[in-house]
Chains A and B, each alone.
Chain A
Amino acid sequence: MNAQATVTAKPRSLQSALRFVLPVIVFAAGILAWELLVRIKGIPPYVLPAPSVIVLTLIKDWAVLSQSLAATLLTTLEGFAAASIGGIALALLFNQSKWVEYSLFPYAIVLQVTPVIAIAPLLLIYLEQQTAVVACAFIVAFFPVLSNTTLGLNSVDRNLAGLFQLYGASKPQTLRFLKLPAALPYILGGLRIAGGLSLIGAVVAEIAAGTAGAGSGLAYRIAESGYRLNIPRMFAALLLLSLAGIVIYGVLAVVSHLVLRRWHESALGKEN
């Protein structure tokens, strides 16, 4: 029994190690090829900076870039919070009243399908810059929260709903003890998408605002460095944005896993 277990366990651990190691190897090879290409061909940094130059720029300009990173992260966080609260609240409202849902849902879709990059300049005219940027992040991110939460609230087991009815549960009780827990996996899925989208929304708005000149976020740094042909700094800022996106996704995935790990299929091990 034991021997058999170790025999079957070996390929599985090897496979999971490969899943981690292989992308790292590809990444290292890509970076190495990039570095070699730039050095052998003698490409100037204002055309294509070598990875080593980008890392050096990141360290050298850390004072400026870290401030921009903080600004962008704050915007993203505000947009994400607004999208989460707004999306969930609107879904709850829709769930309570069909009339409200019929009246407002089409406009939520309109807001979703209109490209935010086209709305951003308008928002910048009517709103203060920081508010406009947060509004952009909100517009991009709230729809997945809304639609996922709506789906979750409508996916309650019919028999469980009957059970709550049988025991005379009030509307708030049904919401708190049945609908919200049942919708939780869906809500968390929506939040995971919204996290990445609110970063995109913040960046789009910063770029649109960048031409107005008062920005300080990472996207503004990228636009500004572009005008100044400071290509290494563009890459450094891009690297930070990409890392920020990965961290946001990772944090939300971990939170989702921790919340659902004891009961939801998506968070359970394959053996169970």
Chain B
Amino acid sequence: MSSGKTSLAADAGLTHLAVSLRGVTKTYDNGVLALGALDLTVRKGEFISLLGPSGCGKSTALRIIAELTAPSSGTVRVARHEGARQPGHGIGFVFQEPTLMPWTSVRENVRLPLKLAGIPKAEARARSDEALASVGLADFADAFPRELSGGMKMRASLARALVTEPDILLMDEPFAALDEITRFRLNNDLLALWRSLGKTVIFVTHSVFESVYLSQRVVVMTARPGRIQADIRIETVEPRGEAFRTSAAYSDYCRKVSAALAPSYSGQSTL
């Protein structure tokens, strides 16, 4: 496969890297080796997908990058904010579930990261409203999470991840539970946001089609313990839109990625 391309990014020097993992492994308390050894480099402003079967450790990799989980071995380097409005919060995280606090309004949910960082209320409110507007939820700021649809909850979750203006956005199968039409729409909105904000995005998914549609690079992982099986660059005319989804190039890439993914499932003949 075209895994040689990663080295290009590495050669470009550390200053251009957003995330670099070297020999990262994760062993759970029960002795199961979940991940690794994983080597991964992501350039600043890049949109990459981690694609792999369930339980391959892709979510664990994301949690390690976010420092929510400590790696058992290996080194993790994450480029931090420089000269931004709010140091120390260079990472936005979108979980698989919307993970909103049900007891308060959407605006308060989005304001949470700023509140925890001690940003004055007036400024925090303004920035929350800005973030909500950027995901098309301006009219729902005062609603409670239970009053929103699944797609809108996910948008609110995305707004909360964006409100600290992070450099890196980590997304853990965010749209997996949504219906297809909603997912397509959110895919397009996410691409538009990525283009306008220029953030680094690491997107975990188990959908071949979603990964090819969204990302510049698809990193295919093996079954547990997760390692990198293939690293496939998706090159097409930017900006992408619905036309790409129906193009021949798109289906070629999907076939290529599926072929790379197939060995990961070979041990699981029952599926």
Contact = CB atoms under 8 A, between A and B. Distances in A.
A177 B144 contact: no
Given A173-B116, A177-B112, A166 B99 contact: no
Nearest to B99: A159
Interface in A143-189: 157, 159-160, 162-169, 173, 177-178, 181-182, 184
Contacts of A163: 93, 95, 99, 112
B97 interface: yes
B68 A168 contact: no
Contact of A162 (B95, B113, B144, B164): B95
B103 A165 contact: no
Contacts of A39: none
A264 interface: yes
A93 to B, nearest CB: 23
Contact of B113 (A167, A264, A268): A167
A268 B147 CA distance: 11
A19 interface: no
B89 interface: yes
Contacts of A98: none
Contacts of B115: 177
B116 A169 contact: yes
A184 B102 CA distance: 12
Contacts of B89: 167-168
A185 to B, nearest CB: 9
A263 B88 contact: no
A263 B116 contact: no
Contacts of B101: 160, 177-178, 181
B99 A160 contact: yes
B103 A263 contact: yes
A262 interface: yes
Contact of A263 (B93, B99, B146): B146
Contacts of A159: 95-97, 99
A177 B102 CA distance: 12
A260 to B, nearest CB: 8
Contacts, number: 56
Interface string B107-146: 0000011011100000000000000000000000000111
B103 A181 contact: yes
A124 B199 CA distance: 70
A39 to B, nearest CB: 57
B116 A184 contact: no
Nearest to A268: B146
Contacts of A181: 101, 103-104
Nearest to B97: A159
**Which of A163, A165, A177, A181 has its CB near the most chain B CB atoms (within 10 A)?**
A163
A177 B145 CA distance: 16
Nearest to A157: B99
A188 to B, nearest CB: 12
A166 B93 contact: yes
Contacts of B93: 162-163, 166
B109 to A, nearest CB: 10
A249 to B, nearest CB: 24
Given A181-B103, A263-B144, A166 B95 contact: no
Contacts of A184: 103
Interface string B52-89: 00000000000100111000000000000000000011
B68 A166 contact: yes
A263 B91 contact: no
Given A181-B103, A184-B103, A168 B95 contact: no
Contacts of B95: 159, 162-163
Given A177-B112, A264-B102, A168 B117 contact: yes
Contacts of A262: 103, 144
A169 B102 CA distance: 19
Contacts of A157: 99
Interface of A: 157, 159-160, 162-169, 173, 177-178, 181-182, 184, 262-264, 268, 272
7 contacts: A165-B68, A173-B116, A177-B116, A178-B101, A181-B101, A182-B103, A184-B103
Please give me the 5 A-B residue pairs with the lowest Cβ-Cβ distance, nearest first.
Answer: A159-B99, A167-B113, A159-B95, A263-B102, A181-B103
Interface of B: 63, 66-68, 88-89, 91, 93, 95-97, 99, 101-104, 112-113, 115-117, 144-146, 164
